[in-house]
Every structure is written in C-alpha cells, then in structure tokens.
Structure 1
Amino acid sequence: MSSMNEKIEVNHVEQEEDGNSQMSSTARENTILHDARKATEEEHALLAKQALKDYKPAIFWSMVMSGTILMEAYDSILILSLFAYPSFQKRYGKEISPGSYQITGPWQSALGCGSSIGIIIALAFNGVLVEKYGHRKIIIVSLFFMAAFIFVTVFAKNVEMLFVGQILNGFPWGFFSVIGLIYASEVAPLPLRGFLSAYVMMCWATGQLIAAGVLKAMLNDTTQWAYRLPFAIQWVWIPPIFVLTLLSPDSPYWLVRKGRVEEAEKSLKRLSSKSIHPNIKRKLKLLIHTNELEMKQASEFDDRFKGWKSYVECFKGPNRRRTEIACMSIAGQVLGGNNFAYSPSYFFSQVGLNSTQTYNLNLGITGLAWVGTFVSWFIAGKVGRRKIYITGIFFMTLFLLLIGVLQTPADNNPLVAWAQVGCTFAWVVSFVLTLAPLAYTITSEVSSTRLRSQSIAIGRNAYNLCQLTAQVVEPYFINPGNLGLKGRTGFIWFGTSFLTLIWAIFRLPETKDRTYEELDILFERKVPLTKFASYKLDINDENEIVLEIK
C-alpha cells in the first residue's frame, strides 16, 4: 500500500500514542479514523479570525514561498511594456521612418513568449522534482540559476540575445510559478486556504506594480540603462528569499507522503502557535488518513504515483475531472483576455495616447490590480468560488465586447478612445476581484494531495500554452504593420472568454469550506457540481469518511 518507510513511521506514531507495539491493522485504522474525524471537526469549527492568531508562522512562511512569484510577475509586464518604450525600441527595434523605431511583430511575439518556453519546459519537470526533493530545495537551486541568467537580459547586445535570456529566465520562473501555490495550499488551515493561495495573485500584482513604477521613473532616460536597469532590479529579491527559504519548514503533507511522519509533526508545530500544539497529533492523523484515502483510490498506487507515471494518474478516474478543472480555471485568465486588457500599454499607444499617458494609465492599472486583489480576499471569504468565477468571467466578456464595439466610433473621434480605456479599467476590476486570485485557489484546492505538484504543474502549463499562443498572435492582431485591429482585438478575446463562461457554468464545482479529505470523497462519488456545496458528509459515519473501494 505504501512504502516500507511509511509503514514504519506511521506504526511508530501509533506505538507512541497507544503504547501497543502489536496494535492490529484494524485498531490502527480505527485510531487514525477517530483522530481524523476530530481534526475535521476542528477544521470546520475554526474561524478565520482565530486562525490568523493560531497560524501566524504558516502565514509567514507561505508568504515567503509565494514571494518568489514577484520575479516572474515583474518581468511579465516589463518585457511587454518595453515594446512601447522609446529607448528600448531604438536599441532592439527597426527604423520604420526617420527617427521612429518599432519592435517588429515577429520579435514582439518572440520576446513575449520567450519566458513561456522556459516555463513550460520547467513545469514538465516540476511535478517530479518537487515531489522528490521538496519545495525548499527546488526554490534554492532555482534562485541560484536565476541570479546567473539575469546577466543575459541585463547585458543583451541584440534582440536575439535578449530572446535567449528570456528563455533561460523562464526555467526558474517555471518552478517559482507553482511552488508557492503548492506550499500555501498544504500549510494553510481551512479558513485561510483561500487567502494564502490567492496571495499568489497579490505577489503578481506587487511585482507588476513595481515594474510599472520603475518604467515610469526611467521613461525620460535616453541612455541604455533606461531598459537595462529595470532588468537588473530583479537581483534585489534573490538574497532575502534565499535566506528565508533556507530557514523555512518543509510541507507536512510532503513529509507524510515521504513517510517522514515525525518530521511532519515537527513541521506542523513550526507552522502553528504553541497554544494548539496539544492538537497537533490529531492534525497529523488527518494528513495521514487523507494520504491513505487517496492511495486507496488507485490500484497499484506504488508505481502509479512515482516519477513520470504520476502525470498519467492525473488523467485517470476521478483525477481526470480534477485535472480538467485545474487546467480550465487558470487558463481562463488568458482566455478571458489577459494579454489584451491586463497589459494594455501597447494597445493604449496604438489608439493614440502618448508615452506619458500610456505609462500613467499602466501604473494606474497595476495599482488598481493590487487594491482589487486585496479586496478579493474578503469577497472570497464570504462567497463561493463558483459564484465568484462565473460572475467575473461574465463581466470580463461583456467589457471585451464593448471595447471592440467602440473601436468604430473611435476611428473617427479620438475622444472615444478614452471610453475604451474606461472599459479596460472595468475589465481589470472584474479580473482582479475574481479570476485573477480565485483561479489559483481553485487550482490548488481541486487537486488531490498526492498529485498536487503534478496537477498544478499541468494546470499551469495549460495556462502557459494558452499564454504562449496569445503572445504569438496578439502582436499580429494589434500591430499596425500587421492586422492593426486596435480595439477590435476585443472581439477575438470576447469569443474565447464567452466559451470559458459556458464551461464554468456547466463544469466548475464549489470547493469552498471543504477539507481535502472531503473533496476526495466528493470527486470519487462523482457528485454533480450543483450539489458540491450542499452534499452532506457525516463525519460520525465511518462510511462517509472511509470509501469502500472494491
């Protein structure tokens, strides 16, 4: 059933607690089940206010791990915004008229998708490496390579070298993009799970806000450092994150999966205040029970959860549905028009706004994203995931349609462009209050604990493949040297956003206020999505906790 180490460690815990080295398998399961029931009750009874007091260490270490996303977020808006940056255009672009330079459509696509190529490759290895070596070791190694690869982008002599630098930087970003989310979902208590997983979006917004501020400050600098210095600033985050990662505890779920139960107990204590340490053993039993429950849901689990075979398991049985939801919920960010409306600097420049107006508005949008993400935490604590997601994608779809419709009058009256700007801001508000943070929460919650690294990696790669496609086609849609659609590009993203809305209505279940154990049961029983929130699980009924799998 589990590895020999797991059996030894788990039995050791039972021997310590019950003083019976000859405890039968049935008695052991009953003891774990009893404590798991009690821990489940405690999880549901815990209020967010109390959780903030009892789990301050978990909050802190989760924020440290998620902080690595700052670097990817910073560069994601940096490279796209530099396309409209005068000194950058002159250095890496092509002269289209005397004194006027432009990054060509093909190179816009290449630079925009360069990091995505590296990220996609890294994510393919993420599920295997993180599960084998743990979150901390992978982040430490990734930070080392990140420090080296930044040199390439800072000192790139031509656009080809800059493109290679973007690909190389994408490798560590691929690990950063999911490890913080995986870690947060595994260390957070139930009432804070949505907050800490959504904090990933706060890191995105913070990184992008810093990038917008840096670009605004360097706008009037005509030297080469106007674009080299923004790349170099990425070195600033590496030392503090490196040191804090060294000091952080491993995920207790990961330690249980590796059979290191005693270490998992110590980790649980490090992630909580001393006032709840008497309850730690029950919490540990819930982790053990959830792990064994998921192992029972697959035959020949020892082989199917190891190495690359674990990816195959993500597409079998109940996990197939969970993987679909993980992929679509986060890919919906791109399908909902992310590349067009969330990074609109180039769009604003093409509808007639000057560089100063463009970067002022860009700074405003990133500031709005930061505030909106903060507000979304309170909404997520009150409203279900499904309702928030569907509402958000509905309004995003509507505003994309309006941007497209307004382009015809904008062609004749430049003032109408400001109405498009208003719709873009409205889209951003809808996005940052709903899909932006909730997509990460849903992706982390919907996966099983034993396949979390693999499921989130697959989901994030679904996002990256959509992102890669969008980064290739978006410049052709909007570049005046190609299709030059300007605001009519909104019609294209309206179509993909509308399809995402239809998917969410018919396929997205409610995961709020469910423990991972309960979600395992709901997916195993193929509970219809309309009943996910209301389905009753009696924790005092053994049949509700332990699935009978024949």
Structure 2
Amino acid sequence: MKDELEKQEASSATMIENVANDSDLQFGEGLVENDRDSSLWASAMSHKLILAHSIAAFLAGGVFGYDSVINGASISMPAFLLYFGEHTATGSLFVPSIWASMWTAMSYLLQAIGGFGIGFVSDRIGRKWACVGAACISVVGVGVQFAATSRGMLLGGKMINGLAIGCIFASATSWASEISPLRLRGPIQSGIVLFMVLMQALGLVTIRLYIENISPSAFRSVFALQWIWPVAAGLAFTVMPESPIFLVQKGKITAAKKALTRLYGSNNHIDARLAVLCKQVEQERSQAEGHGNAGYLELFQGTNFKRTFTVLWLFLAAGLNGASLLSQNTYFLIIAGLPAVHAFDVGIGGFGLAIIAIVFSWFYMEKFGRRSIWLAGVAINILVLAIIGSLYYLKSNGSLWAVAILMNALIAWQLLTITSIGWVITAEVSSYRLRAKTQSIGVISNATVTWLFTFTVPYMYNTDAGNLGSRAGFVFMGSSVLLLIGSWFLVPDLHGFTTDEVDWLYSQNIPVRNFQQYADGRAKQGATMRTVATGKC
C-alpha cells in the first residue's frame, strides 16, 4: 500500500511539473501581479463567480454563528429556565453552574475534536465532501437538542452538533482560502465572519421573539430553526467545485482545470492560472521532500513552528480577551438584575453594530493593515474591560445599563478588530501543503480555548459560585495585557504577499513587525530565487 502511494505521488509530481513548465506560466504570474495591484472593487468585479461560490463557505459560518449564540443565550429564556433550571431559596430561577458550563464547554470541546479529525479526512476526500458530511452530522445533533427532555440528552445533542461544527468550519475556511484570488483573500474570510455574526444576530432576534412564551415550544422552536443552516450549507457544497489546490495535490490536473473554469469562467486564462497553481504546489512538494506525507507533527517543525504557533496565539485570544464572558452577557445581565427583554434588545443592537463594522472592515483592512488593527483592538479591549470591572462598585440601575452597553459594544469591537482579523491571518499564514491541517489547528485552538474559558467563566460571576459580577472584567483585563505583549512578537501583516512569498519571509526569520517592509519587491525576488534554487521552475 505504501509503495502504491509513493508511486501515485511520484506520478502526480511529474504531471504537475509538466504543467508548471508550460509557456502559460509567465502569463499566469502576470495575472497574479495584476490581482495584487488591483483595487478591491475591481477584483470583486473580475471574480464575481468566485464570490458567488463563496456563499457555501458563508453558510458554514452561519452554522457556527447560530449555534454559538443559542448555545449561550437560550439558557436565558424563561421557558428554558422553567424546564431545565432550578429555584433559589428566594424563588428565582437559575441554571446550576455545572450545567451552564457543560452545555457550552462540551460543545466547544467536541468542536476541537472535530477540527482535529477533519484535517485527515479533508486531505483524503477533499474539502467539499468533508463539509457535506459534517452538515449531515449537524442535522442529527440539532434533532437531538430539539427532542431533548433531560439535561443529559440536551448535552448529548450539543456535543454531536459541536463535533459537526468543528468539522465544517475548518473545512469550509480552508476551501474558501484555496479558491480565493490574492486580493479577495481577506474579504472572503471576513465574509465568513460576517455571516457568522449575522446568524448570531438572527439567533438573538429569534430568542427575543419567544422570550415571553413560557411553554417548552418556545426554546424548541429556537432549536428547530437551527436545521435551516446545516441543510443549506450541505446542499450548497454538493454543487460547489472541489478546491483546485487539493485536486492538483492529488495529481488530478484535468479535474483541477474544470474546477478553475467553474470558478473563473472559461474565458479567463484557465491554462495560465493552472500553470501557476501547479508550480506553487510542486515547489512546496520539492521543499518538503524528506518529510513524507503532510502530518500534524510537521506543523511544529522548522519554520512551520512559528507559523503554527501564530495560529494558536490568534485563537488563544478568544479566551484571553474576555470573549467567553461577553458571549454569556445576556444571562449574566439578567441575573445581575436587568430585565430579560432589555438584555436581549441591547444584545441585538450590539450585533447590528458589529455587522456594519465588519462590512466597513473590507475597505480599511488593507489601508491600516492587519497587524495594526489587531494591536489597536487588543489595546482598546484592555481599557473597556477595566471600565466594566470598575462599574461593579457603582450600585445603580444606570451602572447596570452602562455594563450592558459596554459589553455589547465590546463584542462588536472584538469581532471587528480581533475575530475577523484572526481568521484572515490564519488563512494567509499557512502553506498550501499544510493549509487544511493549519485551518484545523485554528478550529482546535479556538474551540479548546473557548471550552476552557466557558467552563470556568460561569464560576466567576454566577450567584452560586464566585459571584464576581462585572468585576470579572478585571480578570480579562489582565489576560488581555498578556495578549497584547505576545501579539507584538507574533502577529504579522501578510496583505499582498503570495503563499510562496510568505514561505520566504518565514524562512528568513524576519521579525513579523517588519514584514510589510518587504512588500517593495524584495519578498517577490527572494521567493523567485528560492524557487530557482530548488530547480523546479
């Protein structure tokens, strides 16, 4: 079996090299340069088919977004509290900390497991069918939640769905990254985050509509509506082309050409684009000789280590920046004394602000740079969390409203400057060869960190545990300071660099804060010389 795989890989390499040596290669490289220099609007108009196909990845973001908000906010519904909650000595309803933690934390733990496992699967069967399979599993998980009659059964449904979401999000972001032209790479990844936030807002609106209904049908209706998104995403991916990069890596050159034709249109220099793609894949293959098949261990070897650690750091931010506290702000505000209806109204307003901000980010992301936006986002995050913590000591209704507004404004700010930028950099920092597994590492780290923090956060603020209230903001203010320090040394700005140029930047051990200094042509020249040195041009 091993000899057969090696023979197949050698055959694939020969096919790729033959295409990469085609006369179209030089013209294809010119197309890459034209795309690098084009405006966002011009690139979008030139690649309308790719934007249309990206809807499948956007729907996968919607699957993640809707689940993430109802996973935390549904426990704030009176109907849910009556069915699954308990009464305090004074008669107030609450969910025991252990179950509030487990429902969210175990879902994220299974997301991490799904993100890890799908890296192997998508490298074997492709990104497209991995997404379809994950969507089918999600349909089952939603069904178990809808039918749940006990806390344990509800937990089981959330775990099944969490596994599916980890799989589909890792595969969909990898697929989207691999079909994106250089200029649209950031906006398409940001578009996935936009759909995630749209579905979070829709989930909150849905819960708000049922908030006054105290029958079990209220929260079951919220769960039932979740079926829409995995079904839509699964159907969308069945008609999408497979990633051309995956097909080239497998030596399926004819299939890759057909996929590129569907993505770019038949009259858009397909042979030239295929030649460039084959050259890049073969270059990575030649540089990785001696490592064997791409595995997770290779992510932590040589120059890949810093790139992988950067991905881990980007998603460690989901814990250190206080997102786990903010994601439970509706329940937190209700037990702090804010009426449920008002808590949801403020939350919906916060998501509306985030949606506008993310769309705006498509235009300013390149102007100000990924790194600068990220660092500014973390710095402002520290300040706002300090204010939230301080408001605990002002025992008034006004201070409670201030906490509510600041928490939801901070959600929008984090989505704008940290979450969306994190996914963009993750898609840019990896090599083609390790991209699926790097995206999996991103989902794993995001889910693991979220699992850890969502499990512990309720013990910080809940009335039957730490009872910190908004003083929990001080905890995450301190962790955000650590996040800012680490980010200075790790977070790059890769706007405008091709994958082989990113490879060269990291191979030269250039400090990430200086990467953009090499956008003057030195990165391109270095990558070209590196390619010539391999003898695989």
TM interval, short-chain normalised: over 0.9
3-state SS in 1 of match to 2:516: coil
Q: Which residue of 2 aligns with 1:385?
A: 370
Partner of 2:273: 283
After superposition, where does 1:97-136 map in structure 2 within 5 Å?
97=89, 99-136=91-128
| 1:402 Cα deviation from its structure 2 partner | 1.1
Give matches, 1:422-433, under 5 Å: 422-433=405-416
Q: How far 1:348 moved relative to its partner?
A: 1.5
The whole-number CA distance in structure 2 between the counterparts of 1:413 and 1:90 is 28
Deviations 1:414-455 (A, max 9, x none): 322222233224422321221121110001100111101111
* Alignment partner, residue 440 of structure 2: 457
- For structure 2, which runs of at least 5 residues remain unmatched after alignment? 1-5
CA distance in 2, matches of 1:151, 1:539: 51
Structure 1: stretches of 5+ with no match in the other structure:
15-27
Change (3 A) 1:214 1:441: same
Q: Which residue of 1 aligns with 2:12?
A: 6
Q: For the residues of structure 2 that align with 1:292 and 1:273, how far apart are their CA atoms? A: 24
CA distance in structure 1 between the partners assigned to 2:402 and 2:140 by the alignment: 44
Deviation for aligned residue 1:496: 1.5
331 and 63 in structure 1: CA distance in 2 versus 1, 3 angstrom threshold:
farther
> Following the alignment from structure 1 to structure 2, what is the Cα–Cα distance between the partners of residues 486 and 116?
24
Could you say if the C-alpha distance between residues 459 and 145 of structure 1 is closer, same or farther in structure 2, counting changes exceeding 3 Å? closer
Counterpart check, 1:139 vs 2:143: no
* Segment of structure 1 superposing worse, 241-250 or 481-490: 241-250
Which residue of structure 2 lines up, in the alignment, with residue 486 of structure 1? 469
Matched ranges for 1:348-497 at <5 A: 348-409=333-394, 412-497=395-480
Task: Quickly say closer, same or farther: Cα 1:413–1:452, change in 2 above 3 A.
Answer: same
> How many Å separate the matches in 1 of 2:372 and 2:150?
48
Provide Cα deviations, 1:17-50, integer angstroms capped at 9, x if missing partner. xxxxxxxxxxx4x958645643442332333222
Question: In structure 2, what is the Cα distance between the partners aligned to 1:251 and 1:72?
Answer: 21
Cα distance, 1:271 vs. partner?
0.6
CA offset digits 1:479-512 (Å, max 9, x no partner): 0111110110001111111111111112212201
> What is the SS of the residue equivalent to 2:495?
coil
* 1:3 alignment partner AA: E
* Aligned equivalent of 1:529, options 497, 500, 512: 512
Letter of the 1:323 counterpart: T
When residues 231 and 547 of structure 1 are mapped into structure 2, their CA distance, relative to the original with a 3 A threshold, is: farther
- One-letter identity of the residue aligned with 1:493: F
User: Can you list the C-alpha shifts for 1:235-258, whole angstroms capped at 9, x where unaligned?
Assistant: 223443333211111111111111
Contact 1:48–1:191 (Cα < 8 Å) also in 2: yes
Q: Is the 8 A contact 1:9 1:261 kept in 2?
A: yes
The answer to whether the 8 Å contact 2:140/2:160 transfers is no
Q: Distance in 2 between matches of 1:497 and 1:227?
A: 35
1:321 aligns with 2:321: no
Displacement, 1:167?
Answer: 0.6
The 1:318/1:5 distance shift into structure 2, 3 A limit, reads: same
Deviates more, 1:36-45 or 1:503-512: 36-45
Label 1:96 to 1:246 Cα distance change in 2 as closer, same or farther (>3 A): same
SS at match of 1:157: coil
Contact 2:198–2:355 (8 Å) recurs in 1: yes
- Residue 56 of structure 1 deviates from its aligned partner by 1.2
SS in 1 for 2:88: strand
Q: Which amino acid aligns with 1:272?
A: Y
User: Which residue matches 1:151?
Assistant: 143
Q: What amino acid does structure 1 have at the position aligned with 2:477?
A: F
Q: Secondary structure at the match of 1:548?
A: helix
- 1:451-494 CA deviation, whole Å, 9 max, x = no partner? 01111111221111110111111100010111110110001111
Segment drifting more, 36-45 vs 349-358: 36-45
- Deviation at 1:404? 0.7
| 1:295 corresponds to | 285
Aligned-partner SS, 2:156: helix
Post-superposition offset of 1:116: 1.1
1:243 pairs with one of 232, 235, 247: 235
User: Aligned AA for 1:311?
Assistant: Y
Corresponding letter in the other structure for 1:281: D
1:32–1:285 CA contact under 8 A, matched in 2: yes
Alignment TM-score, normalising by the size of structure 1: 0.91
C-alpha spacing 1:281/1:230, structure 2 compared with 1 (3 Å): same
For residues 16 and 24 of structure 2, what CA distance do their matches in structure 1 show?
Answer: 10
Give runs of aligned pairs for residues 17-28 of structure 1, distance below 5 A. 28=21
Q: 2:157 is matched with which residue?
A: 165
Per the TM alignment, residue 351 of structure 1 is displaced from its structure 2 partner at its CA by 2.9
**Secondary structure of 1:97's aligned partner:** coil
Paired letter, 1:136: K
User: Among 67, 75, 80, which residue is 2:67 paired with?
Assistant: 75
Question: Is the alpha carbon distance of 1:463 and 1:540 closer, same or farther for their aligned partners in structure 2, counting shifts above 3 Å?
Answer: closer
Confirm or deny: 8 A CA contact 1:69 1:173 kept in the other structure.
no
Q: Secondary structure at the match of 1:321?
A: helix
Deviations 1:136-165 (A, max 9, x none): 111222222222222210011111111111
CA distance in 2, matches of 1:388, 1:231: 36
Amino acid in structure 2 at the alignment position of 1:215: I
2:488 and 2:513 in contact (8 A); partners too: no
How many Å separate the matches in 1 of 2:267 and 2:534?
38
In structure 2, the partner of 1:20 is none
Question: SS of 1:222's equivalent?
Answer: coil
Given the alignment of the two structures, is residue 226 of structure 1 paired with residue 218 of structure 2, yes or no? yes
Give how far 1:274 is off: 4.4
SS at match of 1:526: coil
Which of 37, 57, 68 is matched with 1:45 structurally?
A: 37
Deviation at 1:338, TM superposition (A): 0.7
**Equivalent pair of 2:61/2:169 in contact (CA under 8 Å):** yes
Change (3 A) 1:426 1:263: same
Out of 478, 483, 487, the position equivalent to 1:500 is: 483
Question: 1:109·1:472 contact (CA, 8 Å) conserved in 2?
Answer: yes
Which one-letter code corresponds to 2:101 in the other structure? S
Paired position in structure 1 for 2:186? 194
Secondary structure in structure 1 of the residue aligned to 2:212: coil
How far apart in 1 are the matches of 2:532 and 2:370? 26
CA spacing shift, 1:527–1:336, aligned 2, 3 Å:
same
Q: Considering only aligned residues, what root-mean-square deviation do their CA atoms show, in Å?
A: 2.1
Instruction: Please say which of residues 215-224 and 381-390 is displaced more in the overlay.
Output: 381-390
Percent of counterpart pairs with the same letter?
25
Superposed displacement of residue 99, structure 1: 4.5
